[in-house]
């Protein structure tokens, strides 16, 4: 078995974009030709897919319903107050106060009206006095209500203080307790991830599931258990990015929260087939604490050397700092545990030095604002520069003009065993380092001599070590740049260890067949679908490959297969709607191989849920640099209202017809999606140009030779007339059937009406008919008419004058409408020589416009990336 047979699913509880370790490991396996799918959590809440370094990234929309319910119940408990003690919501108090004010104002108004009536002599004096008494009672009532509202609010404010203090004290104690810490109660998001990822893993049927970090280790091992029920073996790899039990504490990451995650890891780590981690110290600790059968494999989170050459602005240019000014840099997450405040404090002892902090996830956080406030207090704010992060593959190049890289992390068990990614990023950027005295980092720096070690949280010692490095900067830089050191920390060595582990685990030979995991597309490759309406996608694709050397074109259909049109790729309706494995395989293939996509009928290419259109796939294709456009065949873009106004004969003459209403609603929805779409739009019949702004006519294609017929036309005494209405032309058939049936009853013709037969059978019927009647309501002609003309049959249909005017040559279709169809058929039967001339012109017309060559001429500018929707003016060929 080879890597090409290997199917790997990786999981991580983030959106993958900025997780360099996940991306590098996925790419390292994709280099071998393995099919790698990475499941992540969509940060935007909208699902998405993209190809990164040869791996398919699938971002899943995770609602985190269990986590949010826990938050809601927790908040409800803390917000509870005894009945009538205060107001639960401030808005309730405001509404009550406003109601009282409104009632008192209304009372004053009533009094004013009553007094005015009494003074003018109107009304009954007794009634006036009774009204006065009633108003006094009303005023007393609402004044009492006003007072009660104020009292209730005051009581609530008084009660709030002990309640809130009690909960703070309770939480303060509870969060410091490492036991009990049930993860199912404290971290139900682990089960939310199970709901989001579990079914996807089952459908994808991978050989290996790779769980990145502790959040998803349970998801992976449970998937392996379910696979056993189906008789499959699913290997589990657990990738411990940190020492979970020793994570640093900040914000919501309390001692109890950390203990709960450690319990989650402990419950499932023994079921993993192999464990990977980031440093030797963590590997040793994990084996000892969890009694693992083998020592976890250390795959350090070192940078990819390819990232060094990325074209990006450097950090000095970004902050506008001269090259001779000493510059320290910290790049990474900004929390109290990372110790950046120690570096800010050290600036007091380093009056000529500047500090740049590349803040992850960004500058606009409370932690960064606290650093800035600290700098102001120390009067070093002009030498502190806080910057938003760059892309993961730009970090190394961005940092290269600094002088020293800092890692001032504080003392936590996980930090003591860590070899952070930034340690290696600094190395590839050519920066000596100054790090806090965490054992793993200290051993590494002492061994390599690429920097100095200071006592954690000691700003004076940090400043001293910075001065040491700056005093002999060239020597430190020389050691950092030494080839032996660069090779030691290169990702290529770490990737080789990962591939070796996978080879041992799966019994496959894993060798690099696609260096870098990068997808290099040569030539042009078009995918058309997912409809293949009347076999047109197949015919266009084959015409392209026939006429243009070097172009590859494929058609796709996801229909029921009722008709026997040829097609390159197929999928069932169920696969298109719900089979994730089929959808992702097609997605991965397209992202790896395809350069151009044409969506038929406005439908998405890679699977469809209810209500989705092609716009679902556009962001993914744009990100992959794949050009895309639309092909419309008819009813999906034809505006029933506009058609009714412009054409005398229209199937939409009754706007209240249920089908017309549905088509109008669908058309309106389609047009809303078209707003702002930049890709080219092709239509297959010239009449559709009226319904599309700046559209292109993509002529229908017919296999002319397969329709060539040797049977003579109109030599039988009773000619055969064929009518085969499509689903979209059934309304027109209601006008055709009675006429042709009547003519058949009179013995003038033999009427042959067919519907729903395989295309190959219909083709034989066309070739043996004398007259073929096409639709009479749409005002244009389609595939059926082209096939009849190609067969040299007398073709009858209704072609509106504006459509005929658009055509480059005379169209050999006998004009007929619902009003005169009988007369036209009778004339053709009577004047057979004239009718035969119409039939004889058909094959030549089809060869000129519909044998695929004109279609290729229309598509080539799109394939050459020369066609833009806005270039076409008013539309046309």
Kindly state the average pLDDT of the residues 693-717: 94
Q: Does a cis peptide bond (omega within 30 degrees of 0) precede residue 682?
A: no
CA-to-CA distance for 874 and 696, rounded, in angstroms? 9
Q: For the chain, what is the largest distance between any 2 Cα atoms, rounded to a whole number of angstroms?
A: 112
Into which CATH architecture does domain 524-633+676-697 fall? 3-Layer(aba) Sandwich (3.40)
What does the pLDDT look like over 327-358, one tens digit per residue?
999 999 899 889 999 999 999 999 999 999 99
Sorted by where each begins, the domain ranges of the chain are: 3-61+183-298, 84-174, 306-482, 524-633+676-697, 704-850
Q: Please count the other Cβ atoms lying within 10 Å of the Cβ belonging to residue 166.
A: 11
Structure confidence by residue, pLDDT tens digits, 52-101: 888 999 999 999 999 999 999 999 898 888 888 888 888 998 999 999 99
* pLDDT band, very low/low/confident/very high, at 875 (cuts 50, 70, 90): very low
Mean pLDDT of the 257-271 span: 96
DSSP state of 876: B
- HEC profile of 495-554: HHHHHHHHHHHHCCECCCCCHHHCCCCCCEEEEEECCCHHHHHHHHHHHHHHHCCCEEEE
- Round the average pLDDT of the chain to a whole number and report it: 90
Query: Which pLDDT tens digit goes with each residue over 530-572?
Result: 999 999 999 999 999 999 999 999 999 997 655 679 999 999 9
Q: Which CATH architecture has domain 306-482?
A: 3-Layer(aba) Sandwich (3.40)
230 or 175: which carries more pLDDT confidence?
230
- The architecture in CATH of the region 3-61+183-298 reads 3-Layer(aba) Sandwich (3.40)
H or E element in which residue 564 lies:
none
pLDDT at 3 over 80: no
Q: Could you give the CA distance from residue 590 to residue 620 in angstroms, rounded to a whole number? A: 11
Q: For 33-37, 47-51, 529-533, which range has the lowest pLDDT when averaged over its residues?
A: 47-51
Higher pLDDT pick, 53 / 817: 817
Q: Which residues of 172-189 are buried (b: 16+ CB within 10 A; e: fewer)?
A: eeeeeeeeebebeebbbb
- At residue 874, the pLDDT reads 39
Q: Report pLDDT digits (tens) over 142-191.
A: 999 999 999 888 888 888 889 888 888 888 888 888 889 999 999 999 99
Q: pLDDT band for position 877 (50/70/90)?
A: very low
When pLDDT is averaged across residues 580-594 and rounded to a whole number, the result is: 91
Are the beta carbons of 237 and 272 closer than 8 angstroms? yes
3-state secondary structure of 588: helix
Band of residue 1 on the pLDDT scale cut at 50, 70, 90:
low
Question: pTM of the entire structure?
Answer: 0.78
- Rounded to a whole number of angstroms, the CA Rg of the chain reads 38
pLDDT at 868: 60
pLDDT at 14 over 50: yes
| Phi/psi-derived region of residue 462, left when phi > 0, alpha when psi is between -120 and 50, beta in every other case | alpha
The proportion of the chain whose per-residue pLDDT surpasses 90, expressed as a percent, equals: 66
pLDDT tens profile 452-495: 999 999 999 999 999 999 999 999 999 998 888 887 778 888 99
- Report the alpha-carbon distance of residue 536 to residue 855 in Å, rounded: 10
Q: In this predicted structure, what is the pLDDT of residue 229? A: 96
The pLDDT value given to residue 80: 87
- List, for residues 112-123, the tens digit of each pLDDT value: 898 888 888 787
Kindly report the three-state secondary structure assignment for every residue of 737-768.
Answer: HHHHHHHHHCCCCEEEECCCCCHHHHHHHHHH
Backbone angles phi, psi at 682, to 5 degrees: -110, 145
The most confident of 369-378, 659-668, 771-780, by mean pLDDT = 369-378
Residue 561: CB atoms within 10 Å: 12
Give the residue-averaged pLDDT of 132-145: 91
**Residues 282-309: what's their mean pLDDT?**
86
CA 187 – CA 260 distance, rounded (Å): 7
What is the percent of the chain with per-residue pLDDT over 70, rounded to a whole number? 96
Are the C-beta atoms of residues 365 and 398 closer than 8 Å to each other? no
How far apart, in whole angstroms, are the C-alpha atoms of residue 53 and residue 519? Answer: 7
Residue-wise DSSP of 381-406? GGGEEEE----GGGHHHHHTT-SEEE
**Of 19-33, 65-79, 658-672, the least confident:** 658-672
- pLDDT above 80: residue 615: yes
User: What residues are paired with 451 via a beta bridge?
Assistant: 433
Tokens 């009714």 -> residue: 644
Q: Topology of 704-850 in CATH?
A: Rossmann fold (3.40.50)
User: Across residues 429-456, what is the average pLDDT?
Assistant: 93
**pLDDT for the residue 202:** 95
Query: The tokens of 606 are what?
Result: 């890679």
Q: Decide whether 306-482 matches 704-850 in CATH topology.
A: yes
């Amino acid at each position: 078995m080879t890597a090409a047979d290997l199917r790997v699913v990786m999981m991580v509880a983030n959106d993958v974009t900025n997780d360099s370790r996940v991306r590098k490991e996925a790419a390292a396996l994709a280099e071998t030709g393995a099919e790698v799918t990475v499941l992540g959590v969509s940060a935007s809440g909208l699902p998405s897919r993209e190809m990164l370094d040869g791996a398919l990234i699938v971002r899943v929309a995770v609602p985190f319903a269990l986590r949010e319910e826990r938050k809601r119940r927790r908040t409800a408990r803390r917000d509870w107050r005894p009945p009538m003690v205060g107001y639960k919501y401030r808005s309730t108090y405001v509404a009550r106060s406003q109601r009282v004010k409104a009632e008192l104002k209304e009372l004053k108004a009533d009094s004013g009206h009553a007094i005015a009536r009494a003074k003018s002599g109107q009304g009954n004096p007794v009634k006036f006095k009774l009204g006065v008494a009633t108003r006094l009672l009303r005023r007393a009532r609402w004044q009492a209500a006003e007072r009660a509202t104020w009292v209730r609010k005051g009581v609530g404010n008084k009660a709030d203080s002990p309640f809130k203090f009690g909960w703070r004290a309770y939480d303060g104690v509870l969060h410091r307790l490492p036991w009990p810490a049930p993860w199912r109660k404290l971290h139900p998001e682990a089960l939310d991830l199970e709901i989001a990822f579990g079914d996807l893993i089952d459908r994808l049927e991978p050989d290996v599931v790779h769980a990145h970090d502790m959040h998803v280790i349970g998801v992976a091992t449970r998937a392996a258990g379910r696979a056993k029920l189906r008789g499959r073996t699913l290997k589990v790899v657990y990738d411990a990015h940190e020492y979970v039990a020793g994570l640093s504490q900040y914000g919501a990451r309390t001692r109890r929260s950390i203990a709960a995650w450690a319990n989650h890891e402990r419950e499932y780590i023994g079921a993993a087939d192999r464990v990977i981690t980031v440093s030797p110290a963590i590997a040793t600790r994990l084996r000892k604490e969890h009694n693992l059968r083998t020592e976890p494999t250390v795959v350090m989170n070192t940078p990819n050397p390819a990232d060094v050459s990325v074209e990006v602005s450097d950090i000095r240019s970004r902050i506008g700092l001269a090259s001779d000014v000493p510059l320290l840099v910290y790049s990474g997450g900004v929390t109290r545990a990372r110790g950046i405040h120690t570096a800010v404090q050290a600036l007091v002892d380093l009056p000529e030095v500047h500090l740049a902090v590349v803040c992850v996830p960004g500058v606009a956080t409370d932690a960064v604002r606290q650093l800035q406030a600290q700098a102001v207090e120390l009067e070093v704010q002009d030498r502190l520069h806080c910057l938003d992060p760059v892309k993961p593959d730009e970090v190394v190049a961005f940092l290269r003009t600094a002088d020293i890289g800092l890692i001032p992390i504080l003392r936590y068990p996980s930090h003591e065993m860590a070899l952070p990614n930034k340690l290696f990023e600094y190395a590839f950027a050519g920066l000596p380092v100054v790090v806090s005295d965490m054992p793993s980092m200290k051993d590494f720096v002492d061994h390599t001599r690429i920097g100095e070690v200071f006592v954690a949280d000691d700003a004076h010692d940090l400043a001293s070590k910075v001065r040491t490095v700056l005093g002999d900067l060239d020597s430190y830089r020389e050691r950092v740049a030494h080839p032996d050191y660069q090779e030691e920390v290169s990702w290529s060595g770490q990737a080789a260890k990962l591939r070796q582990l996978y080879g041992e685990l799966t019994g496959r030979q894993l060798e690099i067949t696609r260096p870098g995991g990068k997808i290099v597309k040569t030539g042009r490759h078009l995918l058309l679908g997912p409809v293949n309406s009347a076999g047109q996608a197949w015919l266009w694709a084959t015409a392209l490959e026939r006429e243009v050397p070097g172009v590859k074109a494929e058609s796709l259909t996801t229909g029921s297969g009722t008709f026997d049109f040829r097609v390159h790729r197929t999928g069932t309706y169920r696969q298109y709607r719900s089979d994730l494995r089929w959808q992702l395989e097609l997605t991965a293939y397209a992202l790896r191989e395809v350069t151009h996509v044409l969506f038929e009928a406005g439908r998405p290419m890679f699977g469809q849920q209810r209500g989705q259109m092609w716009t679902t796939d556009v962001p993914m294709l744009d990100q992959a640099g794949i050009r895309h456009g639309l092909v419309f065949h008819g009813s999906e873009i034809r505006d029933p209202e506009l058609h009714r106004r412009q054409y005398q004969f229209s199937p939409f003459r009754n706007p209240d017809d249920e089908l017309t209403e549905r088509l109008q609603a669908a058309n309106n929805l389609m047009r809303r999606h078209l707003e702002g779409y930049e890709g080219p739009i092709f239509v297959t019949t010239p009449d559709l140009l009226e319904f599309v702004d700046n559209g292109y006519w993509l002529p229908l294609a017919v296999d002319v030779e397969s329709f060539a017929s040797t049977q003579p036309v109109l030599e039988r005494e009773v000619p055969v007339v064929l009518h085969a209405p499509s689903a979209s032309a059934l309304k027109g058939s209601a006008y055709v059937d009675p006429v042709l049936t009547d003519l058949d009853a009179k013995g003038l013709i033999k009427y042959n009406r067919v519907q729903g037969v395989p295309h190959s059978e219909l083709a034989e019927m066309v070739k043996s008919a004398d007259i073929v009647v096409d639709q009479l309501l749409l005002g244009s002609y389609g595939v059926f008419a082209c096939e009849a003309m190609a067969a040299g049959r007398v073709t009858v249909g209704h072609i509106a004058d504006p459509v005929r005017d658009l055509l480059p040559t005379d169209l050999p279709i006998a004009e007929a409408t619902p009003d005169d169809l009988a007369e036209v058929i009778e004339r053709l039967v009577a004047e057979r020589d004239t009718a035969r001339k119409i039939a004889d012109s058909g094959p030549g017309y089809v060869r000129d416009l519909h044998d695929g060559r004109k279609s290729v001429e229309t598509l080539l500018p799109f394939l050459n990336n020369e066609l833009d929707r806005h270039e076409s003016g008013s539309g046309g060929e």
